[in-house]
Each structure stands twice: as C-alpha cells, then as structure tokens.
Structure 1
C-alpha cells in the first residue's frame, strides 16, 4: 500500500490526504510527539476554558487525549481532508460532545477574527513547508496570517515540529517581526521508544499588538519543560541553540550504537547564563575487554588542572582511560569562572546528562562510578582513582 506522496507538493492536496486516510483506515497517524511527552508543555499554555483550534488534525489522537484528560474541551479541529473529518466525527461525536471536526482549508478559514485563545499545529507546518520555493513560502505566509487573524491578543500558536532549519527560520522570523513573543521548547522524550533521532520541539508564539517602529524582539528557549526560559539576543542565536540541541541528540544516538573512533568533545552550559559550565570528552578504549563493571565511568578533573597533559590532550586522555580500565570514559573539566558546591552536587547535576553518553550494551540501571584524583573539586574531597 503506497501512502507516500509522489511529490512534496501533494502534502497540501486534499485529494492526497483523502486517499491517505482511506487507505490507512482507522489507525491513528502520529507524525511525532507522544501525548505523554507533549503534555508538560501543553499544560503551560492551554487552559481548561480556552477555545482551541487544531490545524490539520488528521486522525491524530492528540485532541481526544487533551479532551479526555480534562486539559480542554472546547476544541475545534479542522483538516482539508473530508474523508478524515467524517472518520473523526464518527469516532468522537458521542464521546466528546463539546469537541467538533470541520472540513476546512487553513489558508482560508471561516472563523471570525480573534475567535480562539490557542491554535495548535502538530506537524502541519513541517508538512507544508517542504522547500524554499516562492509558491511554498507564499502559502506559509497565508497560513500564518490566518492563524494571526483568528487568535486573540495574548493567544498562543503552539507548533509541534522537528525544527528543520528552514522551517524554524521561517516561523521565528515571521512572528518575531510581527512583534510576537517567540519561545522554543525542547520536548523531553521518554527515551527507549523514541521514533526519531532528532528531538521534537514546540514553538510557542504569543500574540502581542505590534508597536509601529519598535524593533524589540523577545526570543527564548527552554531545553526542558521545567527550565526557566533562556532569553537570546537574536533570531540567529535562537536557531543556533536549536541546532546545538539537534547535534547533541545525533551525537547521543551515535554513541549509543557503536564505539567512537575519535575523541568527542562537547560543552554543557549553565542554564541561567548560557555560558559553558562543563567541558566533556568522550574517550573509548578498544583495548579494554568489556565486562559488567568496566564499561563506563565518569572522571571529574580537579578544578584548575584541566590544562595538564593527562587531562588536556588527546594522548593524555587515551592514557587516562587505559589506566582507569574502562571501555568508555567521559572526562569532565570544570570551568574556572563557575562555582561548584562539591562532588555530590556535581554528580547530581551531571548524572542525567552523562548517562545519555553511555556506550552500547550498558545494562539497565547500571551504577556508573564517578572517579577523580586528589585535588580541589569545587571545595569537596575527591574520590580516589
């Protein structure tokens, strides 16, 4: 059964989607982003009394799950495909009387101005914005203009996306130039069942009245749902921050599948300032025969000793991992301008992140040792190697 479009342009065709949903049948189709993963972000921006518009709803279960969990009930779902709208009307009519499904083109919506508090888009922008051709960009401009028209001032456009560079650029530039507040959330994944290597993001565009002559832009990123937003100075910097997180996800995926032939380096930044707080090097030792207890360890370099040969050079780190006797060692350098409470707080701060760099075959719930040598580690005694 062939469900893929013959060309990217078919993603905007009602005929294609009618055929797609007829052939797929009743099975829900989710691009990405499970409800359990999206829920912490959605709860921040969707209130129970909000009137919510879901754009390009397809036969996703997202609206149904929002309704059934009590997040919101006044939900209007639209899609260009008449086939899927009829399918969803049959599925929800008796169970969810306050929720509606309408066949409608999002480029020409029938709703009055300022009718909704929230517009929700899960994968629709990604499907429409397939290239940088003028026809495509014009269609997206029309989509954004219609979303802006039907949202109240203070309303939120929530867009679930894989944040391809051209998609993110278009969304951020359009809405920031319109005077909206732009915030990008990275969605925390459940881990094992992640469908895509790349992380899922939610763009949150909050509508403000545009002030003539004002060049003020408010651009923020949240790396995790509980984080305080980090304010960034430009659209370019916001896009770089998203790209950094995508590269990190790719790196973690590669490290989880195979040993790394070369030493890999990355910075973990302070959540408040965005400045580097830890510099990590991932070093594998093919000479070590792996066993349950020697697959993986973390080595904290005493503060102020990060430039020594053993810690600051590739050859030195190779000797360090061989001496430590682990298949993979992650060395952690502490930055001199940062403050650290001690080994226990460093371990607590790093434990989640360093486990994302674990080697393939590491048993579940394996306790990973934190190692060091004598010296000052943020004012606490170090562990002996």
Structure 2
C-alpha cells in the first residue's frame, strides 16, 4: 500500500493526514525513527517532571515510550481528528496523565511559557515543503508559537532531515533573539523502528530559549558523533549550516557506495572535532576488474605526510593505478593534512576504525580484518619551516618533507591550492662532499643578506642540481637546439625566464651554463623573498630579477625593437583555471603578445613554453596562434602529466632531425656535467626528446 503523498505539498494538508491515518489504522508510523533511535538525545534535555508539548504527534509510539520511561507530563496535539481519537482510546486507561488534543500547532490555546520542552518529529518538515511565501509564513507561525509557549530555559527539539530550505529557516530564525542552537546527528539515518528509509541523515535540532542579553556571544554548536567528544562551536549561522551540509554529503556518498560495487572515484573530507579544520581526505577507489576473494574486499592506504602531491597519490589516474597494484576490490586512500598532529599508523587506525567501516563495500564478511597499508611503513615526516602571506597569491607555507626512502625535500605550497607544489628543492646533508666549500660560501652570503630574518634549519642544504619538475628538465634540454648553448664562460648567451617560483630553473641555467646571463621576471615580491630565504636563490652579475608583470616587461622590451635574447622561457601559471588552461595565462598566448616575444628573440634563438591545457578545443586554438608567429615548433609531451613543452623557433629553416637533436642533447649533458658540481643522475637530457613531435 502506497501511503506517501503524490506531492510534497500534501504533507502540509490536514485532509491528507486524515486520509493517511484512516488507511494506516492503529499501526504506529515512525517517520525519522522511533524511541530507540531518539532516546539517547531526548533524555539529555527532557527531565521527568518537565511539561512537554509534542506537536504533530500522529500515531507515533514515541510519546508512549517516553511516558513509560518516566516523562509523564505529556501533551500531544495534531490536526487529525482520526489520530487524536485513536490515541486517546489507546492510552486513556494505560497512561492517564498523558493527553491528546485536536489542535493546530500554529495557533494553540496554551498560555505563554507553559512548557519546559516542545518536541517536533517531522512536523516542521511536513509544513515547510517549499519556499513559497505562504509556506514560509506558516512555518514562521509554527516556530513563533513554539517560542511563545516555551519557558525561558526551555528547549524546542526538532527532528528533521534538514533539507536546505528547512535548515536555513531553523538556523536563521533561532540564531537570533536569545536562543542557543545545538545540532545532533542521529547515528543512523533511520533505524529498526523507522518506516521510511532516507539517504539523508536525521538531525535533532535543540533550541534553548534564553534571555537575550546585549553582548552575550551567540551559541551555535554541532555535537560530535561520539558521546565523549566535545561540541564544536561555530562562529556564524552559515558555518553551522555548512557543517550540516557536509554531513549530509558524507551520508549521500556512503549511500551511493553501498549501492554500487563499481562506483567512480569519490572523495570526502573529515574534520577535526575541536578545531573544525580538515583532518583527513578520503578517496574511495573501486576496481571492479579484481576478482573478489575472502581476503581482498577492502583495505585502507595511508598516504605518508608530505607525499599527497605525488602523481601516484595526488591524481585520479595515479590512485587508480595504486588501487590496482595493491589488489583490493575497494581501496580507501587517506591523505593526512598539515596543521594536524598524528602519532603513528596505529593511532590513525584506532581513530578511523569505525568511520572506514561505514565506507566498506556490501558483502564484507563478518569479522573481516581490515588492513591498513602505507608506503614506507610509517606516516612520513612533514615540518613547516615558515608561514607567510603574499598579497597576490594569499597564504603559503614552506615545509620540509621526507619523500620516498631517505630523501628530504623543501616545498612551497600556496594554501589556496594545497594539492599543488609550487616549488620544490631537494635537501642534502651538510656534510655532502661535492661542492661543500661553495655551499658554505653561499650560505654565509645568504645569512649576511637576510640580516635578522628567520633562517632555515642548518641540518640540510639545497641541492641546486635537482629539478623537481619533469617539465623543467625538458625546458633545459631545449637549450641543445642552440648553436651555442653557453656552456663555457666565453660562450655568452642571454636567457629570459618569466616566472621565478623557488628559482630552481633560473639557478640551474646560471650554475651549469657558465656563459649564460639570466634574467628572471617575477610579478610577486613575496616569491622572490621566499626563493632567497628558503631555496638558496642568490643574485650576482650573471643573475638578476625584474619585479614586474611579465606581459608588461616583454611589451616594453619589444618597443625598443632589439632582438636581445637567445632564449625566452615561460613557466608561469594562471590564477583562473576556469578556461581549461592553467599554464600560462591566456594573455601570454595572444597573437600580438607572441609577436612581441618574437621581436626580442634572436633569429637562431628558441622560445620555450610550458603549456598546460585540458580543453582540447582551446588547446587547438592556442597551438594555431603560436604557429602563426613561430613557423617551427617541437612539442614534447611530459609523461603522466598534462604538461607539454613547446620549443618554438623563429625561422622555419631551422628544422633538425630528431636523432640529431637527441645526439646534441647527449653532447650537451657531457659538457655541463663537471667534477666539482653535483648532478642528478635521474636527469638525462636526451630522454627529454624521446617522444618529441615537429609541427
């Protein structure tokens, strides 16, 4: 029998409920859960001697069970004459102190401040079915009437699914006028006694009526899932509503995962119950091609701190590969967040053991042992060395992390995009032999220059041979296109690099190409400060920085009409990724600006561009525009990345055979590797041209 209304508007109709209860008969209807689901919360706030009003009581057994538990001063009201008659007949002799009255909750006949508690299980949801003016007016009347009949110190307990418009109405109305707002989430969206199953969780809103006092802080609280936890105080109504919405999102995701064994990857965040800051990010990856056995249903993988940006952990493709390699049907990949403390893998396992089971696939055998895995067997190391704020890019951190094995790295992270490493340098122990004297000299120079600024820890020094990005390695390999790459001091070349970052690209050219005069252009003064203080960047007569907008700087150079650079490099990202191109900003690939780049580049020079474009249509247009200005382009796709490096030649007759190009790269590598300089053996210049294409 279908007892649900055809339209949600019928929920607010007394005629609907009359018909409903006639068809339902005397069998109790427990929408949103019964006494067993609600008692733990209700008995926190309802005392045995309290006068309690139950609005929209229906034929629920909740009042009867509360009565039997000792709360006997109960008044129940409903707009259905049928249900009031049924409930009176059922309880007149068994529960004589409890009354059922036919009454509209929006206009009761009770005196002001008559009750210590008002209980509403689904009544507001039934009334507030939409956001039309008349509906909102009725809901306001209900909530105003409840406020009128409650004593000061009394509580309105509203059991609700907290749909967006209901949530906004409740929190907005009761977060003002001297009310304290506290929200509990029931442990299950619906339980054994419930008639209806909801994908959304059920919440109990507890509104405490207090005397309004000027200057008294607004009390808005979200209660934790566990009984022993502390409530989380919110700073604004919108923050409280966001917390409810996040819990609803979590429940919907869990419901979706429980219905499917082959869901696409989903992600969700878990926050610290005290600070409200994100503590864990979960990525749920299903691999339906894996044959299920009794041991490979489900596993948890903890990403070591500081390694969440690596391709294997930080990209959807990488996480799919990880899930396939570990061989579990569902893998829950967990990222740990900065600003949070974690003791050990065992402590994390204890903290997450209950939560992760909620995300386990259906069919998980009883008493199945859930494996917690990690790379390296521990939670990794992350040390924040410095925090700052750039006026252009916002807050940032400089942090040292341990990578795979025993390697350590220093990273610059802008917190507006925490999953992207802006710059990275490898750290070496101070006792590394090669170049030790030079590093001591440079370190002393940095310390003198920084004066009273905070210095990085002295246990490690920057390895200037290390290029963290594959696209930086590819850009360096592009210098093999030059007749004279500037390897020795008597082979002078001029290089313009737009985009500084930590300075590793400019520094590498400076240190390994002794004839290079390097100019870097950086729009953000904070970035230059970071590079100098934390990434070993030092200026001298062969390395200078222009603090300027790269667009304006090149346009100004072009006005002079002199081709003065052998190499121009663009390694600058876009703050607006909505167009589908994150590097470079779109203005850097407009035809007029590219023509100015052509003007400042010598005929035998090379323009090297890092292009990151996920929109194929836009990418085609960008490539066409570049080709209009530069007749010969070599394109190198970076493996496992979206990046493509474009080597653009200003004259079409400079085309070279690819095998000859790789040979030039091998020859260049032999020239720039010197006994007194470190060299990253993973960097093979010729490998950067393995899949190059000419267009």
Q: Settle same-fold status: TM greater than 0.5.
A: yes
Between the aligned partners of 1:69 and 1:378, the Cα distance in structure 2 is 52
Q: Is the 8 A contact 2:33 2:191 kept in 1?
A: no
Q: Name 2:251's counterpart in structure 1.
A: 249
Q: Is the 8 A contact 1:296 1:358 kept in 2?
A: yes
Within the candidate set 200, 204, 207, 1:205 is matched to 207
Kindly state the Cα deviation for residue 215 of structure 1 after the two structures are TM-superposed. 8.5
Kindly state the Cα deviation for residue 238 of structure 1 after the two structures are TM-superposed. 1.4
Q: Is the 8 A contact 2:189 2:200 kept in 1?
A: no
2:235 pairs with 1:236 = no
Between the aligned partners of 1:191 and 1:296, the Cα distance in structure 2 is 25
Q: Name 1:259's counterpart in structure 2.
A: 261
Alpha-carbon distance change, 210 to 192 in structure 1, aligned in 2, over 3 angstroms: closer
The CA deviation string for residues 238-273 of structure 1, in whole angstroms up to 9 with x for no partner, is 111111111111101111121344322222111100
Q: Name 1:220's counterpart in structure 2.
A: 221
Which stretch of structure 1 is more off in the superposition, 286-295 or 154-163? 286-295
Please identify the structure whose Cα radius of gyration is greater.
Answer: 2
Between the aligned partners of 1:315 and 1:142, the Cα distance in structure 2 is 53
Q: Is the 8 A contact 2:75 2:100 kept in 1?
A: yes
State the secondary structure of the residue aligned to 1:224: coil
The CA deviation string for residues 208-260 of structure 1, in whole angstroms up to 9 with x for no partner, is 12346x68532111242613211112211211111111111110111112134
Q: Name 1:82's counterpart in structure 2.
A: 81
Q: Name 1:61's counterpart in structure 2.
A: 61
Kindly state the Cα deviation for residue 9 of structure 1 after the two structures are TM-superposed. 4.5
Kindly state the Cα deviation for residue 10 of structure 1 after the two structures are TM-superposed. 4.0
Alpha-carbon distance change, 7 to 333 in structure 1, aligned in 2, over 3 angstroms: closer
State the secondary structure of the residue aligned to 1:374: helix
Between the aligned partners of 2:82 and 2:24, the Cα distance in structure 1 is 11
Structure 2: any 5+ residue segments left out of the alignment?
A: 382-695
Q: Is the 8 A contact 1:40 1:225 kept in 2?
A: no
Alpha-carbon distance change, 358 to 124 in structure 1, aligned in 2, over 3 angstroms: same
Q: Name 1:165's counterpart in structure 2.
A: 164
Which stretch of structure 1 is more off in the superposition, 199-208 or 363-372? 363-372
Kindly state the Cα deviation for residue 143 of structure 1 after the two structures are TM-superposed. 0.9
Kindly state the Cα deviation for residue 364 of structure 1 after the two structures are TM-superposed. 2.8
Q: Name 1:382's counterpart in structure 2.
A: none
2:110 pairs with 1:111 = yes
Between the aligned partners of 1:7 and 1:377, the Cα distance in structure 2 is 52
State the secondary structure of the residue aligned to 1:105: coil
2:290 pairs with 1:291 = no
Kindly state the Cα deviation for residue 373 of structure 1 after the two structures are TM-superposed. 2.8
Q: Is the 8 A contact 1:79 1:102 kept in 2?
A: yes
Between the aligned partners of 1:363 and 1:7, the Cα distance in structure 2 is 41
Q: Is the 8 A contact 1:341 1:378 kept in 2?
A: no
Q: Name 2:454's counterpart in structure 1.
A: none
Between the aligned partners of 1:140 and 1:337, the Cα distance in structure 2 is 42
Counterparts of 1:11-30 in structure 2 under 5 Å? Answer: 11-30=11-30
Q: Under a length normalisation based on structure 2, what TM-score does the superposition of the two structures give?
A: 0.52
Between the aligned partners of 2:6 and 2:266, the Cα distance in structure 1 is 40
Q: Name 2:424's counterpart in structure 1.
A: none
Q: Is the 8 A contact 1:85 1:102 kept in 2?
A: yes
Alpha-carbon distance change, 263 to 119 in structure 1, aligned in 2, over 3 angstroms: same
Q: Under a length normalisation based on structure 1, what TM-score does the superposition of the two structures give?
A: 0.92
Which stretch of structure 1 is more off in the superposition, 151-160 or 368-377? 368-377
Q: Is the 8 A contact 2:323 2:331 kept in 1?
A: yes
State the secondary structure of the residue aligned to 2:211: coil
Between the aligned partners of 1:91 and 1:219, the Cα distance in structure 2 is 40
Q: Name 2:528's counterpart in structure 1.
A: none
Between the aligned partners of 1:132 and 1:258, the Cα distance in structure 2 is 34
Between the aligned partners of 2:91 and 2:308, the Cα distance in structure 1 is 61
Higher relative contact order (CA 8 A, sep 6+): 1
